[in-house]
Amino acid sequence: MSIKIPAAIINCQNFINGEFIKGDGEKIQVISPYNGKPIGEFFSTTQSVVESAINDAQVAQRAWAEVPMKERTKVMFNFRNILLRDIDEMAHLKSSESGKNFDEGKAGLMKGVEVLEYAIALQNMDLGGRVEVSRGVSCEYRREPVGVVANITPFNFPAMVPMWTIPIALTLGNAYIWKPSEKTPLTSMKIAAALKEAGLPNGLFQVLQGTKDTVEAIIDHEAVKAIGFVGSTKIAKAVYDRGTNLGKRVLALGGAKNHIVLLPDANPEMAGVGISDSFTGCAGQRCMAASVLLVVGDPKDTEKHIEKIIARASSLKLGTDMGAIITKAQVKFLREAITKAEATGAKVILDGRKSIAPSGMEEGNWIGPTILDNVLPGSEAATVELFGPIISIIRCRDISEAMKIENSVSYGNACSVFTSNGALAEKVIRMASTGMVGVNVGVPVPREPFSFGGVNASKFGHGDITGQHSLDFWSNIKKVTVKWEKQNDNNWMS
């Protein structure tokens, strides 16, 4: 399905205390990657507005903390129904600003809804614990909100990445400050409107548009106790350092360079589809996209697999099967990366530079699926996050050589293996230096209730951003010890 790109410029605003309010800072345009035309604009948020919005959130949060979780969950249930009602409209909007195709836009929202359903289930699942530890004395866990929390999100998933944290943080009783990407702020207004319609009390969900200065003002505000971040490694590290230097809890997810290990015994159909879809999905602009293909063994044993990957990737039509690249500068960077790889001896066996822009969208940001063969380990194409529909093939003698290359990259988000041999799959699972591993799955994103998160330069901080291992980040655990009657005997704990 083609994307319905907004015909008129959308005035994107902050959402503060239940109202949409124009920002007071610098004006920034939002350009659609599809046609290169402005589709929105906003004014960034200055420090004084950040401060008053967070002060108001702090007041609202104190009341929200007193609301039983079952009642908070009712708002989340309404929120889910509104998102599902409006899902097609939102998928068109978020795709218009981020470059996704329609199915990808919708899938991102559905993943967000899955996290929302996990948050709704917390009322029945997260029961804490209470044990009588000695006669008449009990110990108990109570989960309490952190207070005001903040989240800063990237362009490539304008709804899914924020929805990793919004439902869980709000259900646990926090107030939530959100700074969306300046490249994709339009979707944030729909999410804010949905939460308002769902009945979320004013002040608990404040959307502050902007860039670096707005982020820094949010981090620095004394009332903000926990900061989630998703974006590139360089900025993740900067946000982590700034927040932790102020004594705050920070979980900052960064970039990635994901590997797929292809073994000769892999099912060629599964490998062809799984590997092609992994590096071309979202035009390669996702932190779980495969970026390096480690082809193990004699090349003649894997030729059929490579042919299937090429056949599937080259059949994709730009504009419908595969979306656009976020900016013109990024297209230039990708084209240059291909040229540099060629200069170091790589062979371009599928050349996306030759792909033709969809009719009527010639001013958009396009590059087709690209496969580079015989890429040198250690070169830019093998180690740097390119963030586009490019996969680098490195030929390897055996699994040990493949995993040595995988282990040498600084990132640690995802690694997959395609094989029909369980023992070899287990070897890759054990040797992978990543937070997430897949077997015959090109994009090994854990589904709820399993948590999402990498290691090494793909994540700064502890825990994960979703699922069970996110709960302790968005809450505090109070340990309560109670005795109502005098004990007759004294023991070592008395």
Return phi, psi of residue 154, to 5°: -90, 175
Return phi, psi of residue 16, to 5°: -130, 130
Asked if 260 and 292 count as a contact pair (C-beta separation under 8 A), the reply is yes
Q: Which residues of 27-37 are buried (b: 16+ CB within 10 A; e: fewer)?
A: ebebbbbbbee
Cβ proximity to ligand NAD: between 230 and 432 the closer is 230
| Binds ligand NAD by CB under 6 A, chosen from 230, 260, 414, 457 | 230
In one-letter notation, the amino acid at residue 349 is I
Closest to 310 (Cα-Cα) out of 269, 276, 353: 276
In terms of C-beta density within 10 A (0-12 exposed, 13-18 middle, 19 or more buried), how is residue 439 classed? Answer: middle
In terms of C-beta density within 10 A (0-12 exposed, 13-18 middle, 19 or more buried), how is residue 328 classed? Answer: middle
Helix (H, G, I), strand (E, B) or coil at 292: strand
Q: Which residues contact 350 (CB under 8 A, 6 or more apart)?
A: 310, 313, 314, 368, 369, 370, 371
CB of 398 to ligand NAD, least distance (A): 29
The binding track of 152-191 with respect to ligand NAD, each residue x by CB under 6 A or -, is: xxxxxx---x-----------------x-xx---------
| Binds ligand NAD by CB under 6 A, chosen from 212, 317, 462, 478 | 212
Size of the site for ligand NAD (CB under 6 A): 29
Cβ proximity to ligand NAD: between 45 and 171 the closer is 45
The binding track of 79-98 with respect to ligand NAD, each residue x by CB under 6 A or -, is: --------------------
178 is written with which tokens?
């959100």
Tell me the window of 71-79, 89-97, 210-218, 370-378 that interacts with ligand NAD (CB under 6 A). Answer: 210-218
Cβ proximity to ligand NAD: between 134 and 232 the closer is 232
Residues in region 244-263 near ligand NAD by CB under 6 A: 253-256
| Binds ligand NAD by CB under 6 A, chosen from 232, 344, 451, 476 | 232
CB of 99 to ligand NAD, least distance (A): 12
Cβ proximity to ligand NAD: between 145 and 323 the closer is 323
Nearest 10 degrees: Cα torsion 280, 283, 289, 291 = 70
CB of 50 to ligand NAD, least distance (A): 13
| Binds ligand NAD by CB under 6 A, chosen from 191, 266, 287, 350 | 287
- β-pairing, 436-439 with 10-12? unpaired
Asked if 345 and 357 count as a contact pair (C-beta separation under 8 A), the reply is no
Which residue out of 12, 282, 287, 415 is catalytically annotated? 287
Q: What is the DSSP letter of 367?
A: -
H helical segments located in 409-441: 422-431
177 is written with which tokens?
């400050």
Asked if 302 and 262 count as a contact pair (C-beta separation under 8 A), the reply is yes
Asked if 245 and 167 count as a contact pair (C-beta separation under 8 A), the reply is no
341 touches ligand NAD (CB under 6 A) = no
Cβ proximity to ligand NAD: between 190 and 312 the closer is 190
389 is written with which tokens?
């529909």
Closest chain position to ligand NAD (CB):
231
The binding track of 420-459 with respect to ligand NAD, each residue x by CB under 6 A or -, is: ----------------------------------x---x-
CB of 153 to ligand NAD, least distance (A): 6
CB of 165 to ligand NAD, least distance (A): 11
Cβ proximity to ligand NAD: between 39 and 75 the closer is 39
Closest to 393 (Cα-Cα) out of 344, 349, 439: 349
Return phi, psi of residue 34, to 5°: -70, -45
Nearest 10 degrees: Cα torsion 429, 125, 250, 189 = 110
| Binds ligand NAD by CB under 6 A, chosen from 178, 387, 418, 473 | 387
Tell me the window of 104-112, 136-144, 148-156, 166-174 that interacts with ligand NAD (CB under 6 A). Answer: 148-156
The binding track of 110-139 with respect to ligand NAD, each residue x by CB under 6 A or -, is: ------------------------------
CB of 140 to ligand NAD, least distance (A): 34
| Binds ligand NAD by CB under 6 A, chosen from 99, 108, 203, 231 | 231
Nearest 10 degrees: Cα torsion 78, 81, 86, 91 = 110
First to last CA, the chain: 70
Asked about 287 being catalytic, the answer comes back as: yes
The binding track of 21-50 with respect to ligand NAD, each residue x by CB under 6 A or -, is: ------------------------------
User: Which value, in Å, is the radius of gyration of the alpha carbons in the chain?
Assistant: 24
CB of 180 to ligand NAD, least distance (A): 6
Residues in region 394-413 near ligand NAD by CB under 6 A: 413
354 touches ligand NAD (CB under 6 A) = no
Q: Which residues contact 262 (CB under 8 A, 6 or more apart)?
A: 271, 275, 293, 294, 295, 296, 302, 305, 417, 418
Which active-site residues does the annotation give?
Answer: 287
Task: Name the residues that contact ligand NAD, by CB under 6 A.
Answer: 152-157, 161, 179, 181-182, 211-212, 215, 230-232, 235, 238-239, 253-256, 287, 385, 387, 413, 454, 458
